[in-house]
A = this chain, B = another copy of it.
């Protein structure tokens, strides 16, 4: 009898089972110190398999990373909370808009708001994110005009992309947000290329790559890590590990790798794993990583440990493949609730003000939504001219496209 059998990674629970995160190690905040900016990959093992946390379960900020962050003003925290709430308001309303048939597609980042919101607030002018479709939070925290954001989602004349791209596939150069591709992974190595260009120009800008846990399996993840390891450009490579890739458990992308951060260590790139539902941990580690990159210490990988609380997209129903209420069972809670608790503990916030802010932001988004919808929705389309199909394929329109545009009647 052969002793050989294949192995297939399984999630801790399927729909007929109770959520089970007992295998997840929850070391206390403060267990890991702040490494020097020039730490090498070799010394990074504890950070790559541990989890950097700042907020404890009671909402108290503690440990060396809290110290590293220094005293945060109440305004700074409110800004973070408002960013996350605004993000959530947009997600909720646009999810509904899609359900009402007003747009063809939507995709929420619920539960992951802290990551993009916190990271973006640490970036500088001219830095460039290479996001996936689930980093709309970067745009929110970059104060991207909601008109443009929603315009893209409705493919109407407020859409900066003239309706060309699927809703959620934003592009906003002036807000440090690279054009999203539907092809997973491709942006990751492009981020490294952009960062190399920054280094060659000596302009002190950095790039940030973003990728989901599932897409770390892509070839471009490898290409990116390899190139970053070889040329040492100023790039922060983010992995958002939200436990799922559509219906596929993160274990299928991880295999026997200890963590995604640990995989990066193999490439000789320092890597660090962070509680992505902890806004303060996000701020602290982002600050560290961005400073490191800008300071010429080379690339760094951050694995943001989080949970995709919502469905993959409006095309998806996770009840078919994962345990009911898994999100509620997530051992690291909800980023909004956790920051809120911290602020209340500090005396900077109250339940009432929270309710009030949420209502205010929902109203703000609703107001913008109404205005934007007047420019056309999926059920009441006022798309930009079909001639937009032909412009921008090339800088100058070649003859054959001119003929085709004519054939189309424009």
Contact = CB atoms under 8 A, between A and B. Distances in A.
B233 A256 contact: no
B9 A204 contact: no
Given A263-B266, A266-B263, A6 B257 contact: no
28 contacts: A2-B203, A2-B204, A3-B294, A4-B204, A4-B234, A4-B294, A4-B295, A6-B196, A6-B200, A7-B231, A7-B232, A40-B256, A41-B256, A221-B222, A229-B256, A230-B252, A230-B255, A230-B256, A232-B256, A256-B268, A256-B298, A257-B266, A262-B266, A262-B268, A263-B266, A263-B267, A265-B266, A266-B267
B226 A255 contact: yes
A6 B233 contact: yes
Interface in A32-49: 40-42
A219 interface: yes
Contacts of A294: 3-4
A110 B4 CA distance: 36
Contact of A8 (B9, B231, B296): B231
Nearest to A200: B6
A232 B296 contact: no
A279 to B, nearest CB: 28
Task: Place the interface of chain A in its size category.
Answer: 35 or more
Copies in the complex: 2
Contacts of A165: none
B267 A264 contact: no
Nearest to A202: B2
Given A222-B219, A266-B265, A5 B199 contact: yes
A157 B160 CA distance: 64
Interface in A1-55: 1-9, 40-42
Nearest to A7: B232
A2 B296 contact: yes
A221 B221 CA distance: 12
In this complex, which of A2, A3, A40, A253 has the most chain B Cβ atoms within 10 angstroms of its Cβ?
A2
A245 interface: no
A264 B267 CA distance: 9
Contacts of A268: 254-258, 262
Interface string A162-187: 00000000000000000000000000
B267 A256 contact: yes
A223 interface: yes
